[in-house]
Structure 1
Amino acid sequence: MDWLTAENVIAVVTALVGVLVSVAAVWVQWWVPRRRRIGYRVQLDTSIAAGAAASTAVTGPGATVRRGFFDTTQELTDATIVLLRIENDGGLAIGGDDYTDGGGTGLTVRFGDPDGTGPGRRMKAIVVTAPEHPGLLTHFDAAWQPTVGAGSIRLPKVPLNRGAHYKLLVLLTGGPTGAPVTVDGTLDDGVVHVNHSTTPDDKTPLFSRVARTVTLTLTLCVIALAVIIVRDRTPPPIGCAEGRLTVIGSTAFAPVVRDLAKNYEKDCPGATVTVEARGSTSGIRRLAEEGARTAKGSPALVALSDGRKPDGFPELRESMVAVSLYTLVLNDEVPVHDLTLDRIRRIYRGEITNWGQLVPGLDLPVLLVSRDANSGTREVFQRRVLGRNEPANSSLDCRTSNDPESPVVRCELDSTEQVLSTVARLPGAIGYTEVREGTGLTGLHRVAVDGRRPVLDELGSSSYPYREVEYAYTWREPRPDSLTAAFLTYLRWGGGQDVVRGHGHLPCSTPKGLRICGEDAPPAPAPPAPSSGGRTGGTAVPRSGML
């Protein structure tokens, strides 16, 4: 939340206002009209008789009337003439089936009050014109016969494309000019309404084309300004430094470090961080070897370890990074989602060799897919879950045993990725991995321990045993201005915390993490002890290390 400053808040709010204005403009100008609409308006309403009132009602441009034009016609002493425009001013075409009044009537035009309770005019003659769409006139055929003398006209169901229109020139008698002229009808998901022309002497639309263009342009400018302000004010990782750094060790924590390295390089030009994960123990040994060869100072090397380093490396300096959760994983062919701690230990002692011993009717041999002796994940599993070493390696292909004396099939692999792919591929296989948040497990599933599952938010309250503190080691103390020191600060305290948590780990530098990392950090493990039968299956750990 480092970007949350007053300037940035103002910029973002301004951008949101601009976006909302643009959305409102588009809504009014595009979305609202996108329904079926028929608009109508009276373009001319005037008297044509000699004795009629001199006033006229003209709504269209250039509409002039010469009085006395029909003076010689005695039957038209109270005649008026109306020019009515009917058009599709919506966003959708209108077909004949879209008129829902029933029968053959599409629309009804009324002139005043035809019921006789108020002023009303009667039709004398009518002419239909459609200068831009002459094909519309075919719908006003011989079958259409409006009633002379009626106060209304029933129009047929005329299909209208968007923008199409036709006009009615109607000769009326029986009333003055200016009496209401209305058009009624019902449309499927549409309306019939009075509209207006867009001539200069009429009201312009709410948003013109220029206004829309200006609004959208200003919105884009405001958004660009907000992005620039936010990006410019986002601080780089704490203590950017140039140079080259190599991070080695834990394969379980490698996905986190790869993302951290990518972000650090992006924000700190001139820095190159390479991740070479080969296992916790392997990383510790390499760091010690390269540090011993360094004449003075500290090599540009950081070793990550699942748990504290073994004894015998006094020159290494440790930093607690995060609490990591681990989980057992099981091939999907085995319908087991929870194992007691006792059954897990019996499986790894070779007392349960077929899943049918736990699931009646299932005949699948137990295949133990493990990590090699350099793995911190394996060391944590032995100490936190088994309380002893795993059995010796007995298989090269993780499927068949190469040791007739071994009670169980067990293989060792070099990385967590290999463990996951092998367990997913082999029915009956079981293995272990760190909890990878946001990563789908295909072909395998997690297994709870005594009904408890690895849940990050439950750390500190749950007794889930398979967890460990992740440590970062350097050879002695790196120089404060070195890339090694800067990257460690970023990993533990800077923006790297969000990346660590995003991968399912709890940073030790958070208030909750400080407490749990201090409580969960075990003492240094005892020296290795030989396993039974002279075999070596890993680092022996005293019983006191078991949760």
Structure 2
Amino acid sequence: MEWLSAENVVAVGTAVIGVVASAVMVWYERRVPRRKRIGYRVQMDNPIGDDVRSGRANVRLGLFDETPGMTDATLVLLRIENDGSQSIAGDDYTSRERHGLTAVFTDRTIRGVSVTQPPGTDHLMDHFTPAAGLSYEDGVLRIPRVPLNRGEHFKLLVLLSGGDVGREIRLIGGLRDGEVSPNRSTTPDDQPPLFSRAARLITVLLTVCVVTLALIVVLRDDTPRPVGCETGTLTVTGSTAFEPVMRELAEKYQEDCEGSTIVVDPHGSTAGVRELAAVGAKSKAGSPPVVALSDGPKPSGLPQLRENRVAVSVFALVVNDDIPVRNLSLTDVRRLYRGEIRNWKQLGGPDRPVLLVSRDANSGTRQVFQRRVLGRGEIANSSLDCVHKDDPTAPVVRCELDSTDQVLSTVAKLPGAIGYSELNSATGFTGLHKLSLDGHTPSVEDLEHGTSDYPYREIEYAYTYGQPPADSLASSFLSYISRGSGQDVIRTHGHLPCGTPVGLRICGDG
């Protein structure tokens, strides 16, 4: 279904994610209380004394060197900020003392404290007074109840002694409907993330969806299908001699017309035509999606089948290379297939018994041979292995095979064997050669140029059960066969398309 295309799925998915994300955020804003939070982090913890317990000895000058008690001194820079979603007032601190927060420097003693604030927050300094609770004792620093707007911060530079760097530093305190907790930053003065992890995840997900949709739209092939293309499934049956042509035509049509499936399943001309008639008789939806190819016209008694003349096919008699004969008269061919000539020496060849390798009764190639060359049916089958007579009264060995390839392989393998095949299939087959008839070489070119009366040829018919709908795959495929690239394929396989001027004349003559 076209609405299930990749771009539509991504677009709908993006919209759904956006709607769900918006709904979740609205629900979160309404149902989840907005929390107050103070975050803190240690931005510096460095030794300035000459005690090497920290593993980092120092060189000091001035006050750092002259002031007593600096041997094991350290400097700590502590940043305290409002990284929550609401402003914090002085009465939001839950401590029962005057101060709001307590910083504890484990195993160290505070020697001095300096408070700094960023530009534009001078009002904060009014809160850092002893009266407001600013004081220290041993390793404990008491911090006043400093009101902080969202994102505001201050820093405490603390001079300590008596302990090593890296010892635990904690900020203790509480907030009404909030918390005090450590936070992180990649650089000392970075602000905490503006968006929460969930918001960032949703943003990334939506961005990926939008980019994917854009790529699909940009990279997809919007080339319209060729005019006349149809979708669906079509079965092509019938002639095995015309099978290579149908397979290539089916492949090319499917390449040109996306969404079409053409199954080529040949069983012989007569079998294919009768199969089409049977399927059509059972169909309750009009013309079924089946096309039957036939070497020659359909059998009588099938008025429902509608014919389409596709091409002129040329066939050839083939003989094993052990037999040097290159030309036979029609009279000699008929005598051979009546069993009157039993040995090739009767035709000037070697002393070899004649082996007639034929097709089964459903074969269109055989029917054309009987109609165009013999003028009658072949004699009875007398052998299963094409070598020995199963009927001792039969004049010659004659066997029947199911396909053109089987006939060619058998003729090429058995000395003295003769058979028949579609011309292009026999061309290039090793172990056998083609025969001329009454001096006329089997050739599509000679036939097209009007210089040959070669008799073993026939029109290739494509049959449908009734008239298929104009917008059906069967109708489209038949049109494809009769034009441009379809005719090129037919000609490549050694057939003369009926759509050409010469082919039209020959196909019209029948």
TM-score tier after normalising by the smaller chain length = 0.5 to 0.7
Give 1:439 shift. 4.5
> Aligned to 1:381, what secondary structure does the other structure show?
helix
Paired with 2:242 and 2:432, the residues of 1 have a C-alpha distance of 20
Q: Which of 454, 460, 465 pairs up with 2:455?
A: 465
1:328 aligns with 2:322: no
1:493 aligns with 2:447: no
Matches within 5 A, 1:103-252: 238-252=227-241
User: Cα gap change, 1:456/1:359 in structure 2, threshold over 3 Å: closer, same or farther?
Assistant: same
Which residue number corresponds to residue 417 of structure 1? 405
> Aligned to 2:319, what secondary structure does the other structure show?
strand
Give 1:358 shift. 1.8
Question: Structure 2 counterpart of 1:245, which letter?
Answer: L
> Aligned to 1:436, what secondary structure does the other structure show?
helix
Paired with 2:224 and 2:438, the residues of 1 have a C-alpha distance of 45
Q: Quick check: 2:311–2:507 contact (8 Å CA) kept in 1?
A: yes
- Stretch deviating more after TM superposition (412-421 or 454-463): 454-463
Give 1:488 shift. 0.5
Matches within 5 A, 1:278-293: 278-293=267-282
Paired with 2:485 and 2:464, the residues of 1 have a C-alpha distance of 21
1:341 aligns with 2:333: no
Larger gyration radius, structure 1 or structure 2: 2
1:482 aligns with 2:483: no
User: Cα gap change, 1:237/1:509 in structure 2, threshold over 3 Å: closer, same or farther?
Assistant: farther
> Aligned to 2:313, what secondary structure does the other structure show?
strand
Give 1:265 shift. 1.0
Question: Structure 1 counterpart of 2:276, which letter?
Answer: L
Give 1:333 shift. 0.7
Paired with 2:239 and 2:470, the residues of 1 have a C-alpha distance of 25
Question: Structure 1 counterpart of 2:300, which letter?
Answer: D
Q: Quick check: 1:238–1:494 contact (8 Å CA) kept in 2?
A: no
Matches within 5 A, 1:6-85: none
User: Cα gap change, 1:284/1:236 in structure 2, threshold over 3 Å: closer, same or farther?
Assistant: same
> Aligned to 2:409, what secondary structure does the other structure show?
helix
Paired with 2:259 and 2:222, the residues of 1 have a C-alpha distance of 20
User: Cα gap change, 1:403/1:317 in structure 2, threshold over 3 Å: closer, same or farther?
Assistant: same
Paired with 1:452 and 1:433, the residues of 2 have a C-alpha distance of 16
Question: Structure 1 counterpart of 2:286, which letter?
Answer: G
Give 1:364 shift. 1.1
User: Cα gap change, 1:238/1:400 in structure 2, threshold over 3 Å: closer, same or farther?
Assistant: farther
Aligned length: 288
Question: Structure 2 counterpart of 1:311, which letter?
Answer: S
Q: Which of 281, 294, 298 pairs up with 2:283?
A: 294
Which residue number corresponds to residue 454 of structure 1? 442
Paired with 2:413 and 2:425, the residues of 1 have a C-alpha distance of 21
> Aligned to 1:346, what secondary structure does the other structure show?
helix
Paired with 2:370 and 2:479, the residues of 1 have a C-alpha distance of 31
> Aligned to 1:396, what secondary structure does the other structure show?
coil
1:272 aligns with 2:299: no
Higher normalized helix content (fraction of residues): 2
User: Cα gap change, 1:418/1:234 in structure 2, threshold over 3 Å: closer, same or farther?
Assistant: farther
Give 1:239 shift. 1.1
Question: Structure 1 counterpart of 2:338, which letter?
Answer: R
Q: Quick check: 1:300–1:484 contact (8 Å CA) kept in 2?
A: yes
Give 1:352 shift. 0.7
Question: Structure 2 counterpart of 1:369, which letter?
Answer: V
> Aligned to 1:369, what secondary structure does the other structure show?
strand
Give 1:461 shift. 3.4
Paired with 2:248 and 2:426, the residues of 1 have a C-alpha distance of 14
What stretches of structure 1 move > 2 A for 4+ residues in a row? 232-238
**In percent, how many aligned pairs have the same letter?**
63
User: Cα gap change, 1:250/1:263 in structure 2, threshold over 3 Å: closer, same or farther?
Assistant: same
Question: Structure 2 counterpart of 1:477, which letter?
Answer: Q
Question: Structure 2 counterpart of 1:370, which letter?
Answer: S
Give 1:384 shift. 0.6
1:379 aligns with 2:363: no
Paired with 1:325 and 1:238, the residues of 2 have a C-alpha distance of 32
Q: Which runs of 5+ in 1 are unaligned?
A: 1-231, 522-547
Q: Quick check: 1:308–1:471 contact (8 Å CA) kept in 2?
A: yes
Which residue number corresponds to residue 317 of structure 1? 306
Q: Quick check: 1:237–1:494 contact (8 Å CA) kept in 2?
A: no
Question: Structure 2 counterpart of 1:373, which letter?
Answer: A
CA RMSD of aligned residues (A): 1.8
Paired with 1:236 and 1:402, the residues of 2 have a C-alpha distance of 58
> Aligned to 1:495, what secondary structure does the other structure show?
helix
Paired with 2:490 and 2:222, the residues of 1 have a C-alpha distance of 23
Q: Quick check: 2:295–2:365 contact (8 Å CA) kept in 1?
A: yes
Which residue number corresponds to residue 445 of structure 1? 433
Q: Quick check: 2:318–2:426 contact (8 Å CA) kept in 1?
A: no
Q: Quick check: 1:478–1:485 contact (8 Å CA) kept in 2?
A: yes
Give 1:494 shift. 3.8
Give 1:438 shift. 9.3
Paired with 1:266 and 1:422, the residues of 2 have a C-alpha distance of 36
Give 1:241 shift. 0.9
> Aligned to 2:234, what secondary structure does the other structure show?
strand
Q: Quick check: 2:315–2:423 contact (8 Å CA) kept in 1?
A: yes
Paired with 1:275 and 1:341, the residues of 2 have a C-alpha distance of 35
Q: Quick check: 1:339–1:449 contact (8 Å CA) kept in 2?
A: yes
Give 1:359 shift. 2.6
Q: Which of 480, 498, 504 pairs up with 1:508?
A: 498
Which residue number corresponds to residue 142 of structure 1? none
Paired with 2:386 and 2:398, the residues of 1 have a C-alpha distance of 6
User: Cα gap change, 1:356/1:498 in structure 2, threshold over 3 Å: closer, same or farther?
Assistant: same
Q: Quick check: 1:367–1:430 contact (8 Å CA) kept in 2?
A: yes
> Aligned to 2:439, what secondary structure does the other structure show?
coil
Paired with 2:305 and 2:484, the residues of 1 have a C-alpha distance of 23
TM-score between both structures, scaled by the size of structure 1: 0.51
Paired with 1:366 and 1:474, the residues of 2 have a C-alpha distance of 40
> Aligned to 2:488, what secondary structure does the other structure show?
helix
Q: Quick check: 1:368–1:429 contact (8 Å CA) kept in 2?
A: yes
Paired with 2:223 and 2:370, the residues of 1 have a C-alpha distance of 44
> Aligned to 1:277, what secondary structure does the other structure show?
coil
Paired with 1:399 and 1:235, the residues of 2 have a C-alpha distance of 58
Matches within 5 A, 1:400-411: 400-411=388-399
